[in-house]
Amino acid sequence: MPTPAYPHPFIAREGWPFLALAIVVAALLWWWWWPLGVLGALVAAFVLQFFRDPPREVPSDGNAVLAPADGRIVAVETARDPWLKRDALKISVFMNVFNVHSNRSPVDAEVMHVWYEPGAFVNAALDKASTANERNALHLRTSEGVDVTVVQVAGLVARRILCYVKAGDRVARGTRYGFIRFGSRVDVYLPTDAKPRAAVGDVVQATSTILADFG
């Protein structure tokens, strides 16, 4: 089924000011000297593709953990969840500048806590980005009492993490809850008995790709 109550058109609202500015600059450059206008048009096209935000189909399997972001899997491992202080199955998705950058909830859940941690801006593909970079974490709890931690991590170029939910909110699988500009990473921490269905190197799509099943 489609993402419920999809709140935005095909271009994410975060991109409207950037796209408008790019189009105006491209038009002025074209009027001044058309070869520069061509370059401006290419920049506008890049901005357009970066801020695209298409609706996605939600898998019917209610036991599935869905990808929170588009990108490439860079980690599937047992790790320490630094937010809930527990051992966990960690699955990390790295987004490059050509991926869709809206972030969506992997499960139906209540938001228990939201944490923001300032930090550095090293390459988000590196493991140390999970603990060194600027990040925003959500503690989600399903109706079955399963705890899931989802962490937006800034990258080498990204300088703005946007999160639109707060403690007490309820999110449905596939619901858009945030955005990271220009390259980043999302870490998901699951109970250790969760069964991964993605492997390092896999290319995933937010909402439509299943990352894991609860044990």
Show the domains of the chain with their CATH numbers: 1-55 (no CATH), 64-213 (2.70.70.10)
| Structure tokens belonging to residue 159 | 């300088």
Q: Is 213 exposed, middle or buried (0-12, 13-18, 19+ CB in 10 A)?
A: middle
Can you read off the two tokens belonging to residue 192? 């250790």
Q: Which two tokens stand for residue 62?
A: 């209610």
How do residues 117-152 score in pLDDT, each as one tens digit? 886 555 555 566 566 678 899 999 999 999 999 999
Mean pLDDT of the chain: 85
Please determine, for residue 1, whether its predicted confidence score (pLDDT) is greater than 70.
no
Cβ contacts of residue 13 below 8 Å, gap of 6+?
Answer: none
State yes or no: pLDDT of 11 exceeds 80: no
User: For 151, what's the count of Cα atoms within 13 Å in the CB-facing half-sphere?
Assistant: 27
- Catalytically active residues, by annotation: 184
d(CA 187, CA 95) in angstroms, rounded, equals 11
130 φ, ψ (degrees, to nearest 5): -65, -25
What's the whole-number mean pLDDT along residues 3-29?
73
Q: Which residues contact 213 (CB under 8 A, 6 or more apart)?
A: 61, 63, 64, 65, 194, 195, 197
- Are the C-beta atoms of 104 and 211 separated by less than 8 Å? no
Task: Tell me if residue 119 falls in helix, strand or coil.
Answer: coil
pLDDT confidence of 79, banded at 50, 70, 90?
very high
User: Of 199 and 159, which is predicted with more confidence?
Assistant: 199
Does residue 2 carry a pLDDT above 50?
no
Q: In terms of DSSP H, where are the helices of the chain?
A: 16-32, 34-50, 129-132
- Tell me the per-residue pLDDT of 172-199, one tens digit each, with 9 for 90 and over: 999 899 988 766 889 999 999 999 999 9
Cα gap 194→211, rounded to integer Å: 10
